[in-house]
Structure 1
């Protein structure tokens, strides 16, 4: 399967008529029909229903069309960015992050780097495990996550330890208190992310297990925002890093824990042994200031 086959399919799906689709593609209709038939054979599913009145997408065709549009859009964006970098001699710098670190100082790092005119900055929401893979593949240059990963090609720096808080629905019995982990274990727990694992969900479970506490997991969500929505719906409680409290959301109250030492790290991951270029040096300098601000209490 080639990109041209996907483009042919999308044009046919828009026109729902092979003759008009072929005209848009500046090709004859029989070769286009053969290409679509070959695509269906390769996929193993019928994408179009054919009748005397024209074409209609099958349910499989609708699904394939939706996702093919996303693929082609990503390809077009990538090509445009590549041309822009080549034309302007921009340097490309990628940052991966887990969502829970984006409510603190990470936006300030991004803002600082964007002041550099010769920089093309890309951001990718990735789990810590995905960040390690992306770093090794060269897709990103810095990763910000929560999970310690032992990999000989990657170095991880603990920027600081962040206190955990409990997110409670409005009217919860523990609202306005500083609950213990034992008290929290009495209520249904919502974990995130559900996949891929290991993840922050496993870190949270470990916080309870190390204290000999059993919890009842009511729901697992793939995204933090979804988990907080479930909390607001009174389906359970969840534990979140302190900076998430900046995310004001109706129906939720954040409370500190009685055990102040229960924390989760913010880790910066880099490729090991790589000499920092000018952009990395700038990123490290900005990061050092932001970390010092956090440690000294000047929290933006």
Structure 2
């Protein structure tokens, strides 16, 4: 498998037609079809249903299309950043993050970074917590914002806060008729939607372990890839979903209730390599301290049990 095959596949998936895809790629159709066949042969699964007009992607094809877009986008970022650094135009700071941190402090932090270090080329890479540790050790990212504690001796993990969890409930359910905190045990027998589906372990396992510890066995568990999908299914009355409190702003057409209990939280953790003496790591820590001192709305006491940075400890 090579980047050319990914670009060919993406073109077919976008155009939904081999002839038009070949025209956009400025190649003949037979070699395009041959490369897609080779790609499917290597993967061992069909990606495209050719009998329909326009052609359609299989389930595997849809997943591969999404991943291909991310890979090709990252390659373009890598090429551009490498050229800039090679020309002494920018320094690069790569930040890995879990999606839910976008609804807390990450956007504010990035804005502050751009103001204090305009020479920085900030690369933002969405990756789940379990992916961030190897990415740090391999140098693919410089810092990470995740939600899973770890014990890797090569990576320093600092818990910035413990964010309370809320349960998203379809508005038509009886549980949605009350706004008071809800016991985790009250979720027993409900259909529960968790994310991300993979890789594991991840936030989904954190939620399932919480339910298990309170003897709240779900009637059914549905796994999805993203928090946006999970909340969309809640709005469609397919089940309940437990999310960090700051992510409530994603949708307003579902009802949210805080979960009661000191263990009904999710940590926000800053990770970076041991021995990384970059001035930018120190700057990030300084800006986080300043940001927390400003008491932004997403850091309110009601939704954060531990609401101050631990960087100074």
Question: How would you bin the TM-score normalised by the shorter chain?
Answer: 0.7 to 0.9
Task: Output one character per residue of 1:16-71: Cα deviation in whole Å (capped at 9) or x when no partner.
Answer: 58xx748xxxxxxxxx9899968966874899xxxxxxxxx9989xx699689845
Match of 1:212 among 207, 215, 239: 215
TM-score of the superposition, structure 1-length normalised? Answer: 0.77
| Kept after mapping to 1: 8 A contact 2:105/2:298 | no
Residues paired across the two proteins, number: 277
Task: Output one character per residue of 1:204-247: Cα deviation in whole Å (capped at 9) or x when no partner.
Answer: 11112222332223311111111101111111111111111232
5+ residue gaps, structure 1, are 23-31, 48-56
Partner in structure 1 of residue 287 of structure 2: 286
Q: Pick the structure with greater CA Rg.
A: 1
Partner in structure 2 of residue 262 of structure 1: 264
Task: Output one character per residue of 1:166-194: Cα deviation in whole Å (capped at 9) or x when no partner.
Answer: 11111221222322112122321111111
CA–CA separation in structure 1 for the residues paired with 2:2 and 2:77: 18
Alpha-carbon shift at residue 257 of structure 1 (Å): 2.4
CA–CA separation in structure 1 for the residues paired with 2:200 and 2:159: 21
Partner in structure 1 of residue 141 of structure 2: 140
CA–CA separation in structure 2 for the residues paired with 1:114 and 1:104: 18
CA–CA separation in structure 2 for the residues paired with 1:173 and 1:193: 27
Partner in structure 2 of residue 242 of structure 1: 245
2:87 matched to 1:84? no
| Kept after mapping to 2: 8 A contact 1:180/1:257 | yes
2:219 matched to 1:228? no
| Kept after mapping to 1: 8 A contact 2:168/2:255 | yes
RMSD: 3.8
Partner in structure 2 of residue 75 of structure 1: 75
CA–CA separation in structure 2 for the residues paired with 1:8 and 1:200: 34
Partner in structure 1 of residue 206 of structure 2: 203
CA–CA separation in structure 1 for the residues paired with 2:256 and 2:125: 27
| Kept after mapping to 2: 8 A contact 1:191/1:217 | no
Alignment of 1:152-171 (within 5 A): 152-171=153-172
CA–CA separation in structure 2 for the residues paired with 1:172 and 1:266: 31
Aligned to 2:167, what secondary structure does the other structure show?
strand
CA–CA separation in structure 1 for the residues paired with 2:75 and 2:170: 42
| Kept after mapping to 2: 8 A contact 1:109/1:287 | yes
After the TM superposition, which segments of 4 or more aligned residues of structure 1 sit over 3 Å from their partners?
A: 1-17, 32-47, 57-60, 63-77, 291-300
Alpha-carbon shift at residue 8 of structure 1 (Å): 8.8
CA–CA separation in structure 2 for the residues paired with 1:4 and 1:174: 52
Alignment of 1:102-181 (within 5 A): 102-115=102-115, 116-175=117-176, 176=178, 177-181=180-184
CA–CA separation in structure 2 for the residues paired with 1:92 and 1:226: 32
My pick for the range that moved more, 178-187 or 96-105, is 178-187
Alpha-carbon shift at residue 293 of structure 1 (Å): 4.3
CA–CA separation in structure 2 for the residues paired with 1:232 and 1:80: 40
5+ residue gaps, structure 2, are 13-17, 48-53, 302-313
